[in-house]
């Protein structure tokens, strides 16, 4: 990841394929065994699931805990870093809903208005958008 040219490229190196994000989404609900993940993602091939889980482990996003030695079996769970992807997944799901069917966009339960995600500066205590957002940089 250190060789990636920018933060988005680094993120895509770690989780930038379809199955990886769906695996992370499944693990957000709690630890899962391999078979549980296969049941939740029925179109994923077992070898692809194994490869993605190993990659997520290598990226430090997933931990595999053995629960059986013979045969060797594991339960998979997200690390704290893996759980941090929840916000990004919600944003991607929101984008997908808005571009597929605006009626599916998440709405504020109190008034029914579609919600928006915005950057927020905790020091200035204000939203960062427009020209300010265009000037975001990664230190």
What is the CATH number for 66?
1.10.10.10
Q: Quote the mean pLDDT of the chain.
A: 87
Mean pLDDT of 98-123: 81
**Segment 27-67, tens digit of pLDDT:** 999 999 999 999 999 999 999 999 999 999 999 999 999 99
**pLDDT of amino acid 73:** 92
- 49 in a structural domain: yes
- 64 in a structural domain: yes
What percentage of the chain exceeds 70 in pLDDT? 93
Task: Give yes or no for a contact between 99 and 116, defined as CB atoms under 8 angstroms apart.
Answer: no
| Tokens read off for 11 | 């993120």
- 50 in a structural domain: yes
Q: Are strands 119-121 and 126-128 parallel, antiparallel or unpaired?
A: antiparallel
**Segment 65-82, tens digit of pLDDT:** 999 988 989 999 999 999
**Exposed, middle or buried by CB within 10 Å (0-12, 13-18, 19+), for 113?**
exposed
Number of folded domains that form the chain: 1
- 56 in a structural domain: yes
| Residue 1 predicted with pLDDT over 60 | no
Whole-model pTM: value is: 0.76
**pLDDT of amino acid 98:** 74
**pLDDT of amino acid 3:** 56
- 107 in a structural domain: no
- 36 in a structural domain: yes
- 114 in a structural domain: no
Residue 87's closest CA among 25, 1, 10, 18?
A: 25
Residue 49: other Cβ atoms inside 10 A = 17
- 63 in a structural domain: yes
Range of the domain at 72: 7-83
């Amino acid at each position: 990841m250190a060789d990636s040219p920018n933060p988005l490229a680094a993120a895509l190196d770690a989780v930038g394929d379809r199955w990886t994000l769906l695996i992370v989404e499944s693990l957000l609900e709690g630890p899962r065994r391999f078979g549980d993940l296969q049941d939740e993602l029925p179109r994923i091939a077992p070898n692809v699931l194994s490869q993605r889980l190993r990659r997520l482990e290598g990226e430090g996003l997933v931990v595999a805990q053995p629960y059986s030695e013979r045969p060797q079996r594991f339960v998979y769970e997200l690390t704290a870093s893996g759980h941090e992807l929840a916000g990004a997944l919600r944003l991607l799901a929101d984008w997908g809903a808005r571009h597929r069917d605006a009626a599916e966009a998440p709405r504020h339960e109190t008034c029914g208005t579609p919600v928006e995600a915005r950057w927020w500066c905790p020091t200035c205590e204000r939203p960062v958008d427009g020209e300010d957002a265009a000037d975001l940089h990664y230190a």
